[in-house]
């Protein structure tokens, strides 16, 4: 099962992708998490990506596409994968399709989580993320069992550098300009499914499971 999560920053792509990965036993591949891990480890890729991420801009396609194509060819992706935050531009979607085509494969599902912009801005202020494993929490809607501590790995929870209100606004603008056109791209491919992302976490997940079967 090969799945793409679409949706604005803060729509809940990561939250739902983790649940999908668990239920269907496929890896969760988040380009944002990969870049943040590289930043934490001080790699060359991390240094380059940080310049763009801190501004709320997209990391250039050249730094992104090969990384994902390599990742989906690893052994653990044999039964599929859930992509979170990739593709984010039409050229990225085309690069993904081209890579799959070489193996006579296509994507199966593109799940668009719909949340209005004003709702997003409210959500982002309460988000906390684990510095260690990337798990995401919300101080109101999805709090950890112990304040400031990750339920999964005990790591410390922090506010992401790009969750400042002005950077969130910039990310939303970039989303509407560069990523939203993918909704039509996948509608034309016949694999688009939209879900209402303003529901509770569990209700959003039930709707997704109905789609995936
Ligand atoms: P990335 O890490 O992908 O960030 P994003 O797309 O902006 O999305 P977020 O991770 O902010 O939100 P999400 O949809 O995962 O929501 P979450 O589940 O956390 O990318 C970061 C940056 O990296 C980009 O800006 C770019 O620079 C770069 N980048 C990454 N991929 C790239 C690519 N392919 N090309 C170029 N550049 C790339 O949920 C948000 C909050 O809401 C949480 O607190 C959560 O608990 C809460 N929440 C979730 N669902 C609900 C609900 N139903 N009800 C109430 N609260 C909820
Ligand atoms: Mg995310
Ligand atoms: Zn953790």
DSSP per residue over 18-52, as a string?
HHHHHHHT--EEEHHHHHHHHHHTT-HHHHHHHHH
Instruction: For residue 104, report the distance from its CA to the centre of ligand 1, in Å.
Output: 30
Residue nearest to atom 20 of ligand 1 (CA): 32
13 lines ligand 1 (CB under 6 A): yes
Instruction: For residue 146, report the distance from its CA to the centre of ligand 1, in Å.
Output: 23
- The rounded distance, in Å, linking the Cα atoms of 99 and 146 is 43
- The rounded distance, in Å, linking the Cα atoms of 104 and 99 is 9
Residue 205: closest CA among 111, 81, 77, 87:
111
pLDDT by 10s per residue, the chain, length 213: 999 999 999 999 999 999 999 999 999 999 999 999 999 999 999 999 999 999 999 999 999 999 999 999 999 999 999 999 999 999 999 999 999 999 999 999 999 999 999 999 888 989 999 988 888 999 999 999 999 999 999 999 999 989 988 999 999 999 999 999 999 999 999 999 999 999 999 999 999 999 999
Q: What is the pLDDT of residue 90?
A: 98
- The rounded distance, in Å, linking the Cα atoms of 90 and 179 is 8
Taking the CA of residue 92 as reference, the ligand 1 atom at the shortest distance is: 34
- The rounded distance, in Å, linking the Cα atoms of 99 and 159 is 35
Q: Are 161 and 46 in contact (CB under 8 A)?
A: no
Does the pTM surpass 0.85? The reply is yes
Q: What is the pLDDT of residue 122?
A: 86
Point out the residues that are catalytic: 13, 88, 127, 160, 171
* Longest distance between any two alpha carbons in the chain, whole Å: 47
Q: What is the pLDDT of residue 134?
A: 85
Residue 180: closest CA among 190, 192, 162:
192
Kind and range of the H or E run holding 192: strand 192-196
Kind and range of the H or E run holding 194: strand 192-196
192-196 vs 109-114, strand pairing mode: parallel
């Amino acid at each position: 099962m090969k799945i793409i999560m679409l949706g604005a920053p803060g729509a809940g792509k990561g939250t739902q992708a983790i649940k999908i990965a668990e239920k269907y036993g496929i890896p969760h591949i988040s380009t944002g998490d990969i870049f943040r891990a590289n930043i934490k480890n001080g790699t060359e890729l991390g240094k380059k990506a940080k310049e763009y991420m801190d501004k709320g801009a997209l990391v250039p396609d050249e730094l992104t596409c090969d990384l994902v194509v390599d990742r989906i060819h690893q052994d653990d992706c044999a039964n599929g994968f859930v992509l979170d935050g990739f593709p984010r531009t039409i050229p990225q979607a085309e690069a993904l399709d081209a890579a799959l085509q070489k193996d006579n494969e296509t994507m199966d599902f593109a799940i668009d989580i719909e949340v209005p912009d004003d709702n997003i801005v409210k959500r982002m202020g309460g988000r906390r993320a684990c510095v260690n494993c990337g798990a995401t929490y919300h101080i109101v809607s999805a709090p950890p069992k112990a304040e400031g501590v990750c339920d999964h790995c005990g790591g410390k929870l922090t506010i992401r550098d790009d969750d400042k209100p002005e950077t969130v606004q910039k990310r939303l603008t970039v989303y509407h300009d560069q990523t939203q056109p993918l909704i039509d791209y996948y509608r034309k491919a016949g694999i688009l499914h939209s879900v209402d992302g303003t529901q509770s976490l569990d209700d959003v997940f039930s709707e997704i499971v109905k789609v995936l079967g």
